[in-house]
Structure 1
Amino acid sequence: MAVPGWLDDTRISYDRVAVSYADLLRDALAREPFQRGILALFAELVRAQGNGPVADVGCGPGRITAHLHSVGLDAFGIDLSPAMIEVARRDHPGLRFEVGSMTRLELPDDYLTGLLAWFSLIHVPDDEVATALAEFHRVLRPGGVMLLGFHAGDGSQLKTEGYGGHPMNVYVHRRRPDRIAAWLDTAGFTVEAEMTHRPAPNVEGGFIFAHRPDGRRLP
């Protein structure tokens, strides 16, 4: 699905909701044992690769970045929205946060040991996903670990309001794990695991663990 101007729309929309978003989700992870478990597995896999920098791409107000840091990872956050980065720096002053786009990451080749895209690919239209995955592949070192979280399902929906009633103009794209796994295979990743989580009726989250091949499998 092609969505003209999606980067600008996403940036503007999340600038508007940044403070409300942070307030609404600040303690959400404490109520999500499955998500904490998935993040713990990601952290274990990163440590098995010798630790090193971990990018939380699409970090929003930094709550997941801070959690990764609390479990011992050298985590930093990147987000398209300057307002989100401002809130992240306010709430987590000891951590590193940068404004940037997943379609053009300002990071060196082979820089990261881990990369997390936690429900941040959901606004990327189909015809731009390959660009983002190519960037993820470029910045991950061989053997580097990636975790994607996303809304599982089919179809796209225009979101015009959210997080405190502020206006938004972003498409939310739902995708089946096998579809994303196929994209990852095309992008040169090795998929390690696909998971789904149903926290409420008619709500389904998808999670995929993958790595950039280095000639051996992850432990």
Structure 2
Amino acid sequence: MTGSVDFRGVEQAYDTVAEAYADHFPDTSAEHSLDLAMVDAFAAAVIAAGDPRILDAGCGAGRLSRYLTGRGCLVEGVDLSPGMIARARRESPELAFSVASLTDLPFPGGTFPGVMLWYSIIHTPPAGQDRIFAEAARVLRPGGHLLVGFQHGRGSRDVGEIYRGMGYDVDLRRYNYTADEVAGRAGTAGLREVARMVRQARPEERDGQSSMLFRAPA
């Protein structure tokens, strides 16, 4: 497992833009139907195993938490940004949300039948990825499922420019990964790939998108 990563800049950036981000993405209407098909398959796999509890790790303002709840799951969300968690609690007071880092999840091992990292690995450089997947695998119960969504490709982008253009003084970098890279990280954490979806970018997207489903050993 590689060294620690300083996430203070990411936390500050999302605290700054939390309200604007949540207003712009209030639900899953921005998701492609193929993306949501993977979320639906994940939810169905967790429910079919007999325990519908899911950890939405990096939940933001909770839009996917609400979507999964609507699919019959019992969802708990964590996010690094207190601003995002505050908005999630206002939007969905019936759900449990707390502030936590993906690299230090506040749960005992084997707690959840399902864990979702929906575009929440994207602000972590390669040096921090193994720790994220190790934590996700740790809190998964045997036979549990992990869903990961991310921008597909290589290199990184300064996405802070989008928010600076809206008048917010933030620095925020996004890292792209290939599906094979993510599969390798998950495999190192002891997880087996079940399915992957890789699609080309839509006109409004800069990069292609991927989502991958993994399973922990039974």
Task: Write the mapping of 1:91-106 to structure 2, written as runs, cut at 5 A.
Answer: 91-106=91-106
**2:3–2:128: 8 Å Cα contact kept in structure 1?**
no
Q: Distance in 2 between matches of 1:54 and 1:154?
A: 29
- Give the aligned CA root-mean-square deviation in angstroms: 1.9
Report what 1:217 is aligned to. none
Deviation, 1:209, is: 0.4
Report what 2:188 is aligned to. 186
Q: Distance in 1 between matches of 2:54 and 2:30?
A: 22
Q: Distance in 1 between matches of 2:27 and 2:104?
A: 31
* Range that drifts further, 178-187 or 141-150: 178-187
Report what 1:213 is aligned to. 217
* Range that drifts further, 140-149 or 26-35: 26-35
Q: Distance in 1 between matches of 2:49 and 2:173?
A: 35
Residue deviations 1:123-165 (CA, integer Å, cap 9, x gap)? 0111111111111111000000000000000101223233544
**2:152–2:210: 8 Å Cα contact kept in structure 1?**
yes
For these two proteins, the number of residue pairs brought into alignment is 213
What is the TM-score when the length of structure 2 is the normalising length?
Answer: 0.91
- Normalized per residue, the structure richer in strand is 1
Q: Percent identical across equivalent pairs?
A: 34
1:166/1:94 CA distance change after superposition, 3 Å: same
Q: Distance in 2 between matches of 1:55 and 1:187?
A: 17
Report what 2:207 is aligned to. 203
Deviation, 1:37, is: 1.6
Task: Write the mapping of 1:158-197 to structure 2, written as runs, cut at 5 A.
Answer: 158-163=158-163, 164-197=166-199
SS class of match (1:147): strand
SS class of match (2:17): helix
Runs of 4+ in 1 over 3 A off after TM superposition: 2-6, 161-165
Question: Which letter maps to 1:23?
Answer: D
Q: Distance in 2 between matches of 1:188 and 1:167?
A: 40
* Range that drifts further, 146-155 or 179-188: 179-188
Report what 1:71 is aligned to. 71
1:102/1:31 CA distance change after superposition, 3 Å: closer
SS class of match (2:16): helix
Q: Distance in 1 between matches of 2:104 and 2:87?
A: 22
Q: Distance in 2 between matches of 1:160 and 1:29?
A: 23
1:7/1:84 CA distance change after superposition, 3 Å: same
5+ residue gaps, structure 2, are none
**2:4–2:128: 8 Å Cα contact kept in structure 1?**
no
**1:17–1:162: 8 Å Cα contact kept in structure 2?**
no
Report what 2:152 is aligned to. 152
**2:195–2:212: 8 Å Cα contact kept in structure 1?**
yes
5+ residue gaps, structure 1, are 215-219
Q: Distance in 2 between matches of 1:122 and 1:178?
A: 15
Deviation, 1:203, is: 2.9
